Amino acid sequence: MRSIHAILLLIVCRLLAACESNIETIKQWYPNRQLAEIRTYEQGKRTGTHTGWWDNGQLKFIYHFKQDVFDGTVKEWYSNGQPYRNMNYVKGYEKGLQQIWRPDGTLHANYEARNGRNYGLTGTMHCKNLWKDDKQ
């Protein structure tokens, strides 16, 4: 009877170990052997912190995922190291301060996402200029 319990315990332990192995970390490299990115998946879904670098070694992105959707900060940079965007998410939805910069470093969007709405400079135009050019 004891040996049956020991065998069952061993089987359960191996099954649990197999479940834990559903977390997979994938690394990609540039041809110059510079690390390009590290991504983590759990049962095929994005999870945890995903980090990427430009081929010059500068940070390219840092993403945070839970169950295959953004959850936490999402940060991206241009190849020269200047910030491109800094976004915040909860369960896949924008929440809190969101910022996007142009390549010249000027702010393109700066808004707060709250209750499904955006407040502030979103960087988009919803209207057309009605003024005619003076030269026409």
Structural domains in the chain plus CATH codes: 22-121 (3.90.930.1)
Q: Which residue has the higher pLDDT, 130 or 84?
A: 84
| Burial tier of 69 (Cβ tally within 10 Å: 0-12, 13-18, 19+) | middle
Compute the mean pLDDT over every residue in the chain, rounded to the nearest whole number: 84
Whether the pLDDT of residue 7 is over 70: the answer is: no
Q: pLDDT tens across 112-128, in order?
A: 999 989 999 887 655 44
Q: Which residue has the higher pLDDT, 60 or 1?
A: 60
- Would you state the structure tokens that stand for residue 67, as one six-digit string? 């169950």
pTM of the model: 0.74
